Amino acid sequence: MTFDPGVRNKADEAFSQARRRVLFRRILGFFAPAQPDSLLSFDEVRAKLKIRGQHYAGLRTIPLDKIAGSVGRYQEFNRAFLPTQEHIRERWKRIYEVAHSAAGFPPIDVYQIGDVYFVRDGHHRVSVLKELGATSIEATVTALETPIPLAADVDDLALDLKAEYAAFLQETKLDVLRPGQPIEFTLPGQYQKLYEHIAVHRHYLGLREEREIPWKEAVVRWYDEVYYPTVQAIAEEDVLAAFPERTEADLYMWIIEKRHYLVERDDHEVTLGEAASEFSREFGSGAGRKQLDASVKRARGK
């Protein structure tokens, strides 16, 4: 196939411009928080999210901004699919030339996990089309099954939290027993605490009812008798409005801990609504909010 020499020169300059933007993004990252810059590794994400199966989803037109990962070539492009390696220049230029010809591209081949696509074949095509301002591309899609939501802007911390969530669901099967109610934290280590809450609830149920409580029953009753009522109290007291960067699960954990503190301090029963109100009054604004934010930063290791 013969290409216009003018297009060839444009291809070389376009690649050089793309490489300069890679450097510019890196420099900006030193001075201000930025979006995640590295492509997601398919193998790493698949392992962390405890994939349960996969199926062929057919030929689709997919949005380029949802392509955020790679199978095996995540070091050659960044999250914006700008080329990070000089050695791919000639291959990239050939794809650029094809894009300016009548030949057209075959579909790329991708895996889909949640809302994110991982390129198995077609990395250079994605990079060139994004450089040319395209917004979508044809792809053959294999969808992997996971109950964990995943977005294209996920960063390392969020991915680690989702890995904890996947492990929690694997142990509790809560997504099967009580589907439709995601439990998402913004801090690490909280899912292990939830697991311990279930174990404690199971223990006290056994003592009260004088029988061995099956694990699945304990999970369901913890959700129905402890977690969901707390979430309802959070909604009724509108506590989440004072903490826009947190989730219902974050507040559940803090309110449960607050309730335990109040019970021990006052030596009488405290309702979930009372604990939620007290928590909101203490930490919803002013110095209390700063105190809580400081404890959150410590928990995240910042």
Mean pLDDT of 176-204: 93
Q: Is residue 150 part of a domain?
A: no
- Measured distance CA(47)–CA(129) in Å, rounded: 30
Q: Are residues 293 and 163 in the same domain?
A: yes
Given 98, 119, 145, the domain boundary residue is: 145
| Neighbouring residues of 277: CB distance < 8 A, sequence distance ≥ 6 | 237
Q: Are residues 16 and 121 in the same domain?
A: yes
Identify the residue with better confidence: 15 or 240. 15
Q: Are residues 202 and 262 in the same domain?
A: yes
Q: Is residue 151 part of a domain?
A: no
Across all residues in the chain, what is the average pLDDT? 86
| Neighbouring residues of 223: CB distance < 8 A, sequence distance ≥ 6 | 174, 177, 178, 181
pLDDT at 272: 66
**CA 73, 75, 76, 81 torsion: positive or negative?**
positive
The model's confidence at residue 180, banded by pLDDT at 50, 70 and 90, is: confident
Span 74-123, pLDDT tens digits: 889 999 999 999 999 999 999 999 998 888 889 999 999 999 999 999 99
pLDDT at 25: 76
Q: Are residues 132 and 163 in the same domain?
A: no
Span 160-174, pLDDT tens digits: 999 999 999 999 999
Nearest in space to 93 (alpha carbons), one of 2, 16, 1: 16
- Assess whether pLDDT exceeds 80 at residue 178: yes
Domain total in the chain: 2
Q: Domain containing 195: what range?
A: 156-299
Q: Strand 116-121 relative to strand 67-70: parallel, antiparallel, unpaired?
A: parallel
Span 227-263, pLDDT tens digits: 998 888 888 878 788 888 889 999 888 888 877 777 7
